[in-house]
Every structure is written in C-alpha cells, then in structure tokens.
Homo-oligomer: A and B are copies of this chain.
Amino acid sequence: MKLAEIPTPALVVDLAAMDRNIKRMADFFAGGSCRVRPHFKAHKTPAIAKRQLAAGSCSGLTCATVGEAEVVVDEGLTDDVLIANQVVGPGKAVRVAKLAKSCDMKVAVDSEFGLNDLAQAARAAGVDIGVLVDVNVGLPRCGIAPGASALELAKLIDSTDGVTLRGMMGYEGHVVGIEDRAEREPRATKAMGRLLESVKMVREAGLPCEIVSAGGTGTYDITGGMEGVTEIQAGSYALMDTAYAKLDIPFEKAFSVLGTVLSRPRPDQCAADSGHKATTQDHGNPDVKGIDGASVMFLSDEHATIALPPESTIAVGDPIELWPSHIDPTINLHDVMYAVEDDEVVEVWPISARGYLEQRRR
C-alpha cells in the first residue's frame, strides 16, 4: 500500500525518522547511571514501545492510566511498569493489584487516601505494590508538598502492609515546554532541587529510595544529567510535535496526520478532511507539511480550513499532511497508525491503549 492509498484522515509515522529519535535518546543515556522510562501515554502503541525498549538504556515503561498498564502487561512489553499518576476511583486499585501479580508494578501516591486504597487492594489480592511518593515540584496539579510532608508520607508508606516504598518522583511539567534553554534549564534545576532535597530527607530517615523518577522530552538532558535522578519519563521524543520542535532538542518530527483535500473553493484556500477529531488543537493549530506559505486557518470537527499561496497547484482529491501540535491526544483519536518508508506503508500498528480500556472490556 502506498501513502496516497491510505483512507484519510490517518496517522502516518516516518519510520526512519522515528528510529533515529529513539536511537538518539538511547545513546544519550548509554553507559550512564540514569535510564529512560519511555512514557507509553504519548503513543499508546505497543509496536513503538517495543522499539524504544529494544534500543536500550531503558528502565521499563511509564503509564498514565491503569488501562495503559494493562496493555503493557497483556502484550508482555516489559515487566517493569510505573503508573506515574494517582490511582484513585472505582475499580482502579483492584486492577493494579491484579497487574502486580505478573509484573514489578509501581504507582505514584500523594495522599493517605490513595495509599490506603492501594494497600487494601494489594492485601486482598495477596500481592505487594511498589509505591513512589509523588512530590509537587512546581506544576500546580498533583503531588505532595516537598520536604516534611513528603517525608511524612514516605514513613506512612514504609509502615503500611501491602505496599513497599520504592522511591520518589516529581514531574516538572511547568517547564518542559519552555522554548528558551536559558530559562528552561535553571527552572528545571530548581524544580528538581525540591525533589532531590526530599529524597535526601527520606534517605537520612533510613528509608529506602531506590528510584528517583522525573523529567520529560523537554528536560531529558537537564534533569537526566542531575546527580541522583535515576530515570527520565520522556514520551514525545520518539514522534515529536510542533510544540516540542520549537525547543533545541535533537529529535525530528516523525509523525503527521494525512488528509485529503475535499474542496478548494478559492485559489487561496482549501478544506481537508483532517479536523480536530483527527488532530487536536490543545497546543494550537497544526502546521501544514510540505507547502511553503500554507497555514491552518481553523479546525472544525471534520475539516481543516487551510490558507494557501494562490499559486499552489494542490487540488481536490490530493493528499495533504499536517504536523500535529500535540501528539498524545492526537494519537488517542485514532485506532491505528501507518508506519511508512519512502511513501510505502510497511506496517500498520494498533493503538491498543487508545481511550479508556475499561469501556471496551465491559
């Protein structure tokens, strides 16, 4: 199958570019003490996770949801899994306890409620679940306050049956996307200081803290270069998007949304079938690939309205590609992605962890 024969809209991976990205990340950490734990949430695609793990320098995989972890375990991708998120809500802890029977399962915890829910499920299932204290390092979202509060929670975890304190994590999500390295670097370092100070307090209290997990694609070489950080939770580096492409990081855009031109009502405009049900706009409009001077005017559910240079020869029926602004939610809209080499589709990969697995397993 040729690229131009793919039913649109559809996700297309430039296989060679993706493999170069994966190799660059693996090479960066090769031989060092810090590992990369690729974030499965970015692509939810077992075929990509396999390539990331095969490239080396990995500690395991990171997941955002229990459903993602279930796919990772079901597909046998790795036996070292971290859900870098609070596991709270109907049925969640029980599902994690079930997974802990067949892998080294670790979960982020930032409250006594989350801890007790998890520990209860672990004891009921007769398993042990690893726990990382989730420390707030500046992103106003989840995470317990660094310092005394984090230490207190670590002590509580250490004294709770059914769970084992394995380490600490903190996600500097408020700085990973800052374009200017001169601003990103000191802010990432400051955020990590909060995590590492808490790690020090926990160790001085005689508690175990084997894993120190942090970082993302935008800070992999900053956070990943700090003494004491044992692994980086990076996801976007394999495929990249226009938001991360603005940063000075050595990863290529390897991923696009293929559409078809539906209409060209005027010389300076066309409409393609790749709307925001095919490529999200939470990080802004996508860019147009390969047509100088073209730009997305707006997205509707099933349309991208695109401003064109009037001299463009693109016509109704032609393929047109967009670079997404944010890969994670864009990939989550689709069921498969097409891996392409030289305009030839070489593999079609199921996005097995798309959506919320429990809704499909009913």
Task: Give residues in A with beta carbon < 8 Å to B.
Answer: 4-10, 41, 64-65, 85-86, 88-92, 110-111, 113-114, 117, 136, 140-145, 173, 260-265, 269, 271, 273, 276-278, 280-282, 297, 299-303, 305, 315-317, 328-329, 332-336, 348, 355-356, 358-360, 362
A263 near B86 with CB under 8 A, answer: yes
Given contacts A91-B7, A355-B335, contact A302 B117 (CB under 8 A): no
Q: Which residues of B lie under 8 Å from residue A336 when comparing CB positions?
A: 359, 362
Main secondary structure of the interface of A (DSSP, over half): loop
Partner of A316, one of B113, B300, B328: B113
A-B contact pairs, 16 of them (CB 8 A): A8-B90, A41-B301, A85-B262, A86-B316, A111-B316, A113-B315, A114-B263, A140-B265, A142-B303, A143-B263, A143-B265, A173-B300, A276-B282, A277-B355, A301-B328, A301-B329
Q: Which residues of B lie under 8 Å from residue A89 when comparing CB positions?
A: 7-8, 260, 262, 273, 317
Copies held by the complex: 2
Closest to A359 in B: B335
B7 near A356 with CB under 8 A, answer: yes
B358 near A7 with CB under 8 A, answer: yes
Closest to A65 in B: B302
Q: Which residues of B lie under 8 Å from residue A355 when comparing CB positions?
A: 277, 333-335
Partner of A265, one of B90, B114, B144, B334: B144
Given contacts A113-B317, A316-B111, A316-B114, contact A305 B88 (CB under 8 A): no
Q: Which residues of B lie under 8 Å from residue A358 when comparing CB positions?
A: 7
Partner of A10, one of B88, B114, B301, B359: B359
Closest to A281 in B: B282
Closest to A354 in B: B355
A263 near B110 with CB under 8 A, answer: yes
Closest to A144 in B: B265
Q: How far is the CB of A322 from chain B (nearest CB, A)?
A: 15
Closest to A8 in B: B89
B333 near A263 with CB under 8 A, answer: no
A271 near B142 with CB under 8 A, answer: yes
Q: Which residues of B lie under 8 Å from residue A280 when comparing CB positions?
A: 276, 280, 282
Given contacts A6-B90, A89-B273, A329-B301, contact A265 B359 (CB under 8 A): no
Closest to A44 in B: B277
Q: How far is the CB of A64 from chain B (nearest CB, A)?
A: 5
A90 near B260 with CB under 8 A, answer: yes
Q: Which residues of B lie under 8 Å from residue A265 when comparing CB positions?
A: 110, 136, 140-145
Q: How far is the CB of A11 from chain B (nearest CB, A)?
A: 9
CA distance A215 to B9 in the complex (A): 26
Given contacts A113-B317, A277-B328, contact A88 B356 (CB under 8 A): no
Q: Which residues of B lie under 8 Å from residue A64 when comparing CB positions?
A: 301-302
Q: Which residues of B lie under 8 Å from residue A111 when comparing CB positions?
A: 263-264, 316
CA distance A348 to B361 in the complex (A): 13
Q: Which residues of B lie under 8 Å from residue A260 when comparing CB positions?
A: 88-90
Q: Which residues of B lie under 8 Å from residue A329 when comparing CB positions?
A: 276-277, 301
